[in-house]
A and B are shown apart, each in its own frame.
Chain A
Amino acid sequence: MRTILYIIQKEFIQVFRNKRMLPIIFFVPIVQLLILVNAATFEMKQINMAIVDLDLSSSSRQLTSKFQGSPFYRIINSSFSYKKALSLMQKGDVDVIMQIPSGFEKNLVKEKNSQVQLMVNAINGAAAGLINAYSTSIILDFNREILIEWLNPAEMGEIRRIVTETSYWYNPKLNYTTYMVPGILVLLVTIIGLLLSGMNIVREKEMGTIEQINVTPIRKIEFIAGKLIPFWIIALFELAFGLVLGKLLFNIPIEGSLWLIFLSASVYLFVILGFGLLISTMTNTQQQSMLISFFFMVIFILMSGLFTSIESMPLWAQRVDLVNPLAYFIKIMRMVLLKGSSFADISHLFYALVIYAVVIISLAIWRYRKVA
């Protein structure tokens, strides 16, 4: 037992002595938090539009001004030339082109229906879908307005309506940052934890110091524990720090119990650090170790539900996700922090992490060989 304490002491000294690593461990996460929270958003703020109005009627102008009046839309260009508009799209200046064909108003009056064309830059498929939905709804809005304008009340009365009332729970203002902060905190703790632990043992291998330790009667479990605990403490501290920042800077809600958060976090970190140490025992150079950590990290992050929803993934991918520790912990963080879920609500996720931690640390101890 005492041996472990001395290993921990040594690891701490090494971390804190490294004047260049320290800021990276403690300062960089803050910067990342700030950047990530603001950058990682699918929320559309502005849509750049070009309008090709070939009708030039009062209706077409009304429709145009409807878009001009929307805070989402910025009309970059109005012209009579589709070619001009298209070249703007090719340059990347315009997201959507609306073309109002000549005879738009005439058809509306005579034939009772008319057409408008929308050309959406669909390279970003998801954004294109949203742009289309927004634009269509503005056009339909316009449609409703002219209905009210042109029809008499009796005709209107025949139309049945379903009034939808919408309410958003837990986050009525639809503040995206409160959703992202808990997930991003997980991300940061994971990156730091995985890289520190993943490079640790392999670094001793490269330096040759591991041999000196391997000729001592130290027990494998003591060695792994001594390596694990310092990073565990650092990562937990970082999580606490991140939560404080999240509260101060972004005012994230903390609905549930902080104890529950830290209890889950401590188990989760054992999984991540165990994973890092396992990689470390299986590689020979820091470069290798880093690449392998990076490889898994990217897959874990992308499939974690941090940016996109897990339910939308194909079934086989959801099954693969059962071994993704990030998916569990991000879910726990969001549920407890944002909705105040109780231990009973998250117990199945929690126990999954416990099993995971036991398995991965046993693997790391087993894989650590004192004899080559």
Chain B
Amino acid sequence: MRRFWGFVVKEFLHIFRDYRTLLILFGIPAVQLILFGFVITNEIKDARFAVLDLSMDETTRQLTEKIVSSGYFQLDRNLHTYDEIDEAFCEGDIRLVVVFEPDFARRLEKEKVAHVQLIGDASDPNSASILVSYASGILNNYLLSMNSEAIPLQIHPETRMMYNQELKGVFMFVPGLMAMLLMLISALMTSLSITREKELGTMELLLASPLKPLQIVLGKVFPYVFLAFIDACIIILLGWSVFGVPIRGSVGLLLFESFLFISMALSLGILISCITNSQQLAMMISLVALMLPTILLSGFIFPIENMPKILQWFCHIMPPKYFITIIKSIMLMGNGLYFIWKETLILFGFTLFFILLSIKKFKIRLTSS
């Protein structure tokens, strides 16, 4: 046992001496939180648009003014003919062109109907449709204020945003970020550190030492458990103090679930290192098999419900998905174990599965070599 702790201490020293790696391990959560908290938003604002005003009257000027003052748009230029539209789009920055028909104000007064054409640059279809709906919403509001007395029956929808009144993006990202980083540190770093020993030939030395293989693996893994756990705490603390992401549920439960997820990721990392011999390969597998699914197929950034059915099936075999669900449930909704026991059990299952599989693989290697 003393020998084992000596080994663990050596591994710790290895990691702590490598200040660059440490810096990054602790820098990544900070930088990414800042990115997600301040920089990345799904909202659209200040989109550039152009106006082709064939009427040039008071109403069209007012409407243009309304669009600009909404905050969603900024006026890039005024166009004079239809032919200029394609040119404007091709230069790249203009997302929407608003075309007012000739005699706009007169028609609105006399015929009670006037026409506007909204042309979106749908090479980016998502923003195009959102911008078009913003713009038509602005036009309708203007109309509503003109018609205010004329509409006799009104239903007012009252909306309450649950759990996240200000619709902050960070709320969505903090759980995902935790999953991603824990996965990165636990699975990727362990698999690399073990394959590195293999590549340099030092693994043979270790195996020849009186340490048992299990002790070696545990010794390599232990420091990363520690690092991962600290990183998880940093994210929760930063999210809470800087961005006001609440912890509505039990902190104990939260830490327990994080620990469970870390164990799962570590056993996955060990499995990867059992089946690979080079760091390059371990890294590629980790990146492809771990990071992409963690980022994309876990509900981190893109909601799972929006995906095609087949991909949704894939999502169900991605452990991070369950972890993210759990974290959201505890932190943001304040739920207890009652709502998440299923997900917890599934994570347990994954952990067990990976451990058993790596033991089997490890034995095969020992007997075959």
Contacts and interface: CB of A to CB of B under 8 A. Distances in A.
A touches B in complex, CB < 8 A: yes
Interface of A: 18, 20-21, 24, 28, 32, 35-36, 38-46, 48, 89-92, 108, 112-129, 132-133, 135-136, 139-140, 142-143, 146-147, 150-151, 155, 157-172, 174-176, 178-179, 191, 195, 199, 203, 206, 283, 285-288, 290-292, 294-295, 298-299, 302-303, 307-309, 311-314, 317, 331, 334-335, 338-342, 345-346
Contacts of A38: 307-308, 311
Residue with the greatest number of chain B CB neighbours at <10 A, chosen from A35, A44, A178: A35
Contacts of B152: 112, 147, 151, 155
Contact of A39 (B154, B168, B307): B307
Interface string B164-204: 11111101100000000000100011001100100110000
Interface string B26-45: 01100110011011111111
A161 B143 contact: yes
B153 interface: yes
A323 B260 CA distance: 39
A169 B121 contact: yes
A345 B91 contact: yes
Interface in B1-48: 18, 20-21, 24-25, 27-28, 31-32, 35-36, 38-48
B303 A124 contact: yes
Nearest to B333: A90
Contacts, number: 348
Given A89-B162, A164-B117, A286-B280, A113 B329 contact: no
28 contacts: A20-B276, A38-B311, A42-B126, A42-B302, A42-B306, A114-B154, A118-B160, A120-B159, A120-B162, A122-B165, A122-B171, A125-B164, A135-B157, A142-B155, A146-B153, A159-B112, A160-B146, A162-B142, A166-B117, A166-B120, A167-B119, A168-B129, A168-B132, A199-B279, A285-B196, A288-B18, A290-B192, A302-B40
Nearest to A191: B287
A140 to B, nearest CB: 8
Contacts of B91: 341, 345
Contact of B184 (A112, A163, A294, A345): A294
Contacts of B254: none
B311 A45 contact: no
A155 B112 CA distance: 13
B283 interface: yes
B139 A164 contact: yes
B136 A164 contact: yes
B83 interface: no
Given A161-B113, A334-B124, A136 B159 contact: yes
B345 to A, nearest CB: 15
Nearest to A150: B153
A41 B153 CA distance: 38
B125 A174 contact: yes
B118 interface: yes
Interface string B292-323: 10001100011101111001001000000000
Interface residues of B, number: 117
A205 to B, nearest CB: 12
Contact of A313 (B41, B284, B288, B302): B41
Contacts of B192: 286-287, 290
A163 B155 contact: no
B369 interface: no
Contacts of B292: 32, 35-36
B156 interface: yes
A17 to B, nearest CB: 12
A147 B164 contact: no
Contact of A160 (B112, B119, B132, B302): B112
B106 to A, nearest CB: 12
Contact of B156 (A39, A113, A142): A113
Contacts of B305: 45-46, 48
B123 A171 contact: yes
Given A35-B311, A116-B155, A168 B120 contact: yes
B205 interface: no
Nearest to A307: B301
A345 B123 contact: no
A168 B43 contact: no
Nearest to B36: A302
B274 interface: no
Given A151-B152, A335-B92, A162 B172 contact: no
A287 B90 contact: no
Nearest to A207: B199
Residue with the greatest number of chain A CB neighbours at <10 A, chosen from B122, B142, B172, B303: B122
Nearest to B126: A42
